Amino acid sequence: MHLIDVTNTYSDLVQNQLNSTSAQYIKVYSLGNSSVVYTETDSDIEIVIENHDRKIKDEEVEFLIRRLIHDDRSYDITIDKTKKIIAITCKK
């Protein structure tokens, strides 16, 4: 699996989120045909994975947790019923 930083392609989205939310840091990644938005606030880290074509695989979720949440932090996972959007949140 390859996580590719595509933040520059989504500069409008990033700027909008920085201006309208409490986010201090935002990165957008491509993981195959899944989009990944990584956001940090003062107290939280949130990772949202979205794939319009298929269900997101458990291996992809585990890969992103290992890659983007570097410590052994506890986290919550929210999954929509189609399993095409997954949100992972944890405290800093």
- pTM for this model (two decimals): 0.91
Domains of the chain by residue range: 3-91
Question: For the domain with range 3-91, which CATH number is right: 3.40.1720.10, 3.40.50.2300, 1.10.3720.10, 3.40.720.10?
Answer: 3.40.1720.10
Please tell me the predicted confidence (pLDDT) of residue 73. 78
Q: Which amino acid is at 13?
A: L
What are the tens digits of pLDDT across the range 48-89? 999 999 999 999 999 999 999 876 778 899 999 999 999 999
